[in-house]
């Protein structure tokens, strides 16, 4: 097996952690080695070292490795840091309290939206969105809001890549998505209706970039269940959503 250019122990360990992150139920050493592109012997040594440092947990009964508690500690540390958009937390909590709906923030990472912050609403039926969750960009209001501001070359690459259908309502036609993104650019916010998850609709807007592109663009979304929130009710929260984004921009900037 040929190692990739610049391969070293740190790179190999990070690849193993990345593979394990995609398999929350755990993996055997052979499967983890294949996923990371490593010899089994190398993967076994690295996993043992990572387990000793608690970045990896090992189940002796199943002989499977999974992410350890130190990864959670790192995640929480990131969320509290300026790079983790911690300044957005308070405005998002106020937005969630004002609307009763969960507020979610995310960034565009490749062809997916990565959730980086969330704030619970007050409705008795609550949507749950954990930080670190990834969703296809085109199936989410945050993804469409973020994609609407991309340069043409980057947008074309997204539209030309695979566009999966999480639900039967997901729009996957590139030209239809282009038309939708043009509307998003014009009005400043995006919406999806049961395109990423059946029974869930959402609206989103992009946080204005006041930091000169020093960090990835951030979008903020309000999610709602179809049974509890009508479109008119959700649309009524657009001014509050945009005000939240403006406040976050001033804090991040």
Give the mean pLDDT of the chain.
88
Tell me what pLDDT residue 103 has: 95
Check: CB of residue 108 under 8 Å from CB of residue 217: yes
Q: What is the pTM of this model?
A: 0.73
Tell me what pLDDT residue 1 has: 43
The stretch 61-70 carries a mean pLDDT of 88
Instruction: Kindly tell me the burial class for residue 4, based on how many C-beta atoms sit within 10 Å of its own C-beta (0-12, 13-18, 19 or more).
Output: exposed
Q: Which two tokens stand for residue 18?
A: 């990345």
Q: Which two tokens stand for residue 144?
A: 């469409």
Check: CB of residue 19 under 8 Å from CB of residue 4: no
Residue with the larger pLDDT of the pair 94 and 162: 94
pLDDT digits (tens, 9 = 90+) for 172-207: 999 999 999 999 999 999 999 999 999 999 999 999
Tell me what pLDDT residue 131 has: 76
The stretch 61-65 carries a mean pLDDT of 91
Tell me what pLDDT residue 130 has: 76
The stretch 7-15 carries a mean pLDDT of 85
- Other beta carbons within 10 angstroms of residue 174's beta carbon come to 16
190: CB partners within 8 A, 6+ apart: 141, 142, 144, 145, 148, 180, 184, 203, 204, 205
Q: Residue 80: pLDDT band by 50, 70, 90 thresholds?
A: low
Tell me what pLDDT residue 47 has: 92
Q: Residue 78: pLDDT band by 50, 70, 90 thresholds?
A: low
Q: Residue 106: pLDDT band by 50, 70, 90 thresholds?
A: very high
- 23 pLDDT exceeds 90? no
Phi and psi at 20, nearest 5°, equal -65, -35
Q: Residue 236: pLDDT band by 50, 70, 90 thresholds?
A: very high
Residue with the larger pLDDT of the pair 209 and 205: 205
């Amino acid at each position: 097996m040929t190692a990739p250019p610049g391969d070293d122990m740190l790179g190999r360990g990070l690849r193993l952690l990345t593979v394990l992150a995609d398999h929350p139920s755990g993996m055997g050493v052979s499967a983890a080695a294949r996923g990371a592109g490593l010899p089994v012997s190398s993967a076994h040594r690295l996993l043992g070292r990572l387990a000793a440092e608690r970045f990896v947990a090992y189940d002796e009964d199943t002989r499977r490795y999974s992410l350890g508690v130190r990864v959670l500690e790192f995640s929480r540390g990131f969320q509290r840091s300026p790079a983790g958009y911690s300044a957005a937390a308070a405005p998002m909590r106020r937005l969630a309290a004002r609307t009763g709906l969960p507020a979610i923030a995310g960034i565009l990472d490749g062809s997916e939206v990565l959730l980086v912050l969330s704030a619970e609403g007050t409705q008795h039926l609550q949507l749950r969105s954990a930080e670190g969750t990834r969703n296809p960009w085109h199936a989410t209001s945050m993804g469409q809001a973020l994609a609407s501001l991309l340069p043409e070359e980057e947008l074309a690459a997204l539209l030309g890549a695979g566009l999966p259908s999480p639900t039967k309502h997901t729009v996957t036609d590139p030209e239809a998505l282009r038309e939708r993104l043009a509307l998003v650019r014009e009005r400043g916010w995006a919406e999806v209706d049961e395109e990423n998850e059946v029974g869930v609709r959402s609206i989103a807007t992009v946080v204005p970039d006041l930091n000169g592109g020093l960090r990835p663009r951030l979008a903020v979304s309000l999610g709602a269940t179809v049974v509890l929130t009508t479109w008119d009710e959700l649309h009524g929260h657009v001014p509050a959503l945009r005000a939240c984004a403006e406040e976050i921009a001033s804090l991040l900037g």
